[in-house]
Amino acid sequence: MNWKTILVHLDDSRRCEARTHFALDIARRFDAHVIGLYLVYQDLLHDVFDAAEPSLHSAYEEHRRNSLDKAREAFEHATKLAHASAEWRAPTGPVLDTAISHGRHADALVLGQDDPNDSGAFVARHFVENVVFDSGRPVLLVPRAGDVKTIGDNVVVAWDDSREAARAVADALPILRRARFVEVMTVERNRDEQAPAGIEIAAYLDRQGVRASFSSTPRIRGENTGMTLIDRANSVHADLLVAGAYAHSRGLEHVLGGVTRTLLETSTLPVLLSH
C-alpha cells in the first residue's frame, strides 16, 4: 500500500515553504494528491476588541485575509511548479479539531516542529502531539531549522518492541520499501536491561521487502533515550527517524517529558511519529 493523500499544514511561519516542498517531494514519490490545510492561531479576543474599537477588528480581519491570500498564492505556485495534484483548504472552526478531522482522511500528515522564535509557528498548545495522538495517521515532523535535502533514503527505526513502535513500522512501510538503507536500533536504558531482540522485526521487514540491519546502543550518559536516538541517527547521516509515540500515558509525557517529547522538541532531522 502506498500513500495516495498527503496533508500538509500551512500557516504564516517561516518554515511553511519548507514543509510544502517536503510534502510535494513525498507526493512525487508516490504519485499522491496533496492537501494544503491552512490553520493559524485563533485570537479569541478579537471580538472583545471589536466591541471596544471596531477599527481594530477591521484591521485585524484585513491582516488575516492578506496572510491567507499570501499563503494560498505560495502554495498554489509551488504545486504548479511541481506539476502536483493538489488542493487548498482553509476551513473554519477550532484549529485542533479541524486538523484532526481533515487528517483522518489522509495517508500521512506533514507538520512543523514548534519554533519558540517564530510567533507565526504557534497554532495551539500541544498542537503537534495532539494531532499525532488523535488523528490515527502517521505524522512527518519537519524540523524548525536546516535544509531537508533528502527524505527516506537512509532511515533509522527506533525499536523497543512496544505497540507504538510496531504501529510506526507498519505506517512507515511505504517509505521503508523505497529506502536505500534501513537500520533498526534499540537503546539499552541501563546496564542490566537487555535490549529487545530485533530478530522478529527484521524478519517481518524482510517479508515486506525491506532489508534492514539491526543495532543496539547504550544510552549515552547524561542523555535521555530520545537524545541518544537523535545522536545515533545523525551519526549515520539518516534523513528520517521512525518512532512510536507515547509508549507511556500522554498525560505523563506532558508532565515528565519522555522520548516523544524530546523528539518533538529537539530533533534536528525529520521524524515519522505514529501512535
What is the spatial distance between Cα 124 and Cα 112, in angstroms, rounded to a whole number? 12
Q: What is the CATH number of domain 154-274?
A: 3.40.50.620
Amino acid at position 2, single letter? N
Q: Which of 274, 261, 275 shows the shortest CA–CA distance to 113?
A: 261
pLDDT of residue 256: 43
CB atoms under 10 Å from CB of 147, counted, come to 7
Q: Which is higher by pLDDT, 33 or 58?
A: 33
Q: What is the DSSP letter of 226?
A: H
Q: What is the pTM of this model?
A: 0.90
Q: Which residues contact 193 (CB under 8 A, 6 or more apart)?
A: none
The string of pLDDT tens digits covering residues 220-252 is 676 788 899 999 999 999 999 999 997 555 665
CATH architecture designation of domain 5-142: 3-Layer(aba) Sandwich (3.40)
pLDDT of residue 248: 58
137 Rama sector, left if φ>0, alpha if ψ -120 to 50, beta otherwise:
beta
Topology agreement, domain 5-142 and domain 154-274 = yes
What is the spatial distance between Cα 241 and Cα 243, in angstroms, rounded to a whole number? 6
Q: Which is higher by pLDDT, 217 or 33?
A: 33
Q: 3-state SS of 82-117? A: CCCCEEEECCCCCHHHHHHHHHCCCCEEEEECCCCC
CB atoms under 10 Å from CB of 61, counted, come to 12
What is the spatial distance between Cα 86 and Cα 36, in angstroms, rounded to a whole number? 7
Q: Which residues contact 248 (CB under 8 A, 6 or more apart)?
A: 258
Domains of the chain, residue spans: 5-142, 154-274
Cell (9 digits) for 247: 509508549
Q: Which residues contact 72 (CB under 8 A, 6 or more apart)?
A: 36, 38, 88, 90
The string of pLDDT tens digits covering residues 6-28 is 999 999 999 999 999 999 999 99
